[in-house]
Structure 1
Amino acid sequence: MNPMLRLAGWLIAVALVALPVVAVLRGWIGAERWPLTHLRATGRFEHVDPKLVQAALLPYAKHGYFAVDLQGAQAAVAKLPWVDQAQVRKRWPDVLEVSITEHRPFARWGRDRLLSDRGALFDARGAQVPPGLPNFAGPDARTRDVVELYQQSRTLFAPIGMQVDTVVLDPRGSWTLTLLDRAHGGIPTQVIVGRAEARARIGRFVRLMPQLLVNPERHIERADLRYTNGFALVWSTPQAPAPAKPATAAAVIPATPWAAAIDTLKRALSATQAPRAAFVLPRFPTSSLT
């Protein structure tokens, strides 16, 4: 027999055997004979919508047991809101099984996203967000830095009864915190930390706060820590009547000793009933703050 004819015969025989197998595996035939008729989902579903999971898997299940694209199905489920990890398997004879791990939210990030406890950002629009989460904002690439400063600040402020509610890192790298006074109904205090030596500045401020808040009728509305040897404070006294001409009580506070600085501030406040006070060092103008 002609060798070419023999080779052609072998190729045709192999094709006749392989083609049905390929057709089944590709879903061209057999999908109705070995259908996937059951969907089994495992995991704790607190936020993931089961209907969305079903809708994501149906286009893949219709190809049948042998032709289902498990990687594609897994990727489709992983894109759903609140899904951290997803694994899709098939179980003979007709089961498509998906195992889902949800994101565990650690904080809000910006207006419509959440930050998970594993450092992943995910969309939270339309979702019921657990109450009590801190609020973060900043460049997406700086999530680790934001969490780190939050943890450090929370440790420092907790012993004096202040809760760190918000941590913001702006595009220039400047930090701003919002504190809540738990002892007085959660009154907020904005703390402008700046760019340099954030933890050291916060530490100095924390050491002074108990002395600054000895008068419960006075509350620090805003604190600017961007001075090497002092702070600028804005006070709020909601119970005091507003004067006809708002005045500002000011005092120049030396870097050391701190006790003398506090006494100077108290004398300045006693000399006027102004609801606002500021103390800074004159050699550090506002334009140079970082």
Structure 2
Amino acid sequence: MNAVLRILAWILALALVALPVVAVVNGWIGAERWPLTKLRVHGQFKRVDPAMLRSAVLPYAQRGFFAVQLQQAQARLEQLPWVEKAEVRKRWPDTLEIDIVEHRPFARWGEGKLLSEEGKLFATPRNLDASALPQLGGPESQVPEVVALYNDSTQLFGAMGMQVRTLVMDARGSWSLQLSNGTQVIVGRADARPRLSRFARLLPQLIRNPEQPLERADLRYTNGFALVWGQAVHEDPKTPAPAPAGRGQAQATT
């Protein structure tokens, strides 16, 4: 019986010691004694709203130095528009420090999303004109592959002064893109890079005649391309346009 009483006495003593510690850590007592009175924000950002940032973190800071919930505060900050990554820490005795990494948009993605330079998708903020960014698209699981082919295509066509305006992988894995001169390029599913390389080598010859712009190129052939030609648009009304000849199709072999 005495042994049981001694054990109960030890448990009670430990509880009396631990309970105040638990109470302080959880902010039940002492929050006003160790308040967080300073907020320091680090990082280079242009679009993150400082007022929204302060408002988001304030509820977590009010519980005091020992009870502030750093992980919850960090998760809340990362939900703010333009915040790609946040890190929250505390400095004794009264400072809460925040590191902010802002999204840097690299491209538009699908409908209503942007792709950051770090390869993360985020919702397009309201009132943002992102029309100057290239349009990419595809299954979200294929973001790295889409970006890789976009970079390869940019190098191929950039050498001749063209930009890749649009690059999309559809649900079946088939690729298509649009160049800055308006040419639509159907690449297909297999061997996308070799097909684009062959097409890029021949493209300067295909666009030499400004009176016959290349509207569409289908690369889904083993030894050639199916090409659709258009007509040049004459903006000067005094310059007579050539007689309509209709759209032409041709097969270019490689």
User: For the superposition of Structure 1 and Structure 2, which TM-score range results when normalised by the shorter chain?
Assistant: 0.7 to 0.9
Question: Residue type matched to 1:231 in 2?
Answer: F
RMSD, matched Cα: 2.2
Q: CA deviation at 1:4?
A: 3.4
> Which residue of 236, 259, 276 corresponds with 2:230?
236
Note the alpha carbon deviations across 1:171-210, whole angstroms, 9 max, x for none: 01111111013xxxxxx11111111221222122222222
Corresponding residue of 1:34: 34
Q: CA deviation at 1:9?
A: 3.1
Q: TM-score, normalising length from structure 1?
A: 0.77
SS in 1 for 2:214: strand
- Say if 2:247 is the partner of 1:276: yes
Q: CA deviation at 1:241?
A: 5.3
CA distance in 2 between counterparts of 1:159 and 1:93 reads: 58
Displaced runs of 4+ in structure 1, greater than 4 A?
240-243
Corresponding residue of 1:10: 10
SS in 1 for 2:4: helix
Change (3 A) 1:18 1:226: same
Corresponding residue of 1:221: 215
Q: CA deviation at 1:166?
A: 0.7
Note the alpha carbon deviations across 1:7-45, whole angstroms, 9 max, x for none: 333333332222111111111111122222222211112
Question: Residue type matched to 1:203 in 2?
Answer: S
The count of residues paired between Structure 1 and Structure 2 equals 246
CA distance in 1 between counterparts of 2:227 and 2:241 reads: 20
SS in 2 for 1:71: helix
Structure possessing the higher radius of gyration over alpha carbons = 1
SS in 2 for 1:128: coil
Q: CA deviation at 1:67?
A: 0.6
Corresponding residue of 1:21: 21
Corresponding residue of 2:166: 166
CA contact (8 A) 1:230 1:279 kept: no
Give the gaps of 5 or more residues in structure 1: 182-187, 244-272, 282-290
Corresponding residue of 2:109: 109
Give the gaps of 5 or more residues in structure 2: 235-239
Corresponding residue of 2:194: 200
SS in 2 for 1:162: coil
Within-5 A mapping of 1:1-290: 2-126=2-126, 128=128, 132-181=132-181, 188-237=182-231, 238-239=233-234, 274-280=245-251
Question: Residue type matched to 1:278 in 2?
Answer: Q
Change (3 A) 1:229 1:10: closer
Q: CA deviation at 1:92?
A: 2.1
SS in 2 for 1:226: coil
Corresponding residue of 2:237: none
Change (3 A) 1:139 1:157: same
SS in 2 for 1:157: helix
Note the alpha carbon deviations across 1:42-101, whole angstroms, 9 max, x for none: 111212222222222122112111111111111221222222221111122222111111
Change (3 A) 1:36 1:127: farther
CA distance in 2 between counterparts of 1:111 and 1:50 reads: 28
Q: TM-score, normalising length from structure 2?
A: 0.87
The percent identity for this pair of structures is 57
Change (3 A) 1:197 1:232: same
Question: Residue type matched to 1:111 in 2?
Answer: E
Note the alpha carbon deviations across 1:209-268, whole angstroms, 9 max, x for none: 22222222221122222222232222222237597xxxxxxxxxxxxxxxxxxxxxxxxx
CA distance in 1 between counterparts of 2:246 and 2:92 reads: 75
Q: Which one is further off, 172-181 or 36-45? A: 36-45
CA contact (8 A) 2:108 2:130 kept: no
CA distance in 2 between counterparts of 1:104 and 1:129 reads: 14
Q: CA deviation at 1:130?
A: 5.9
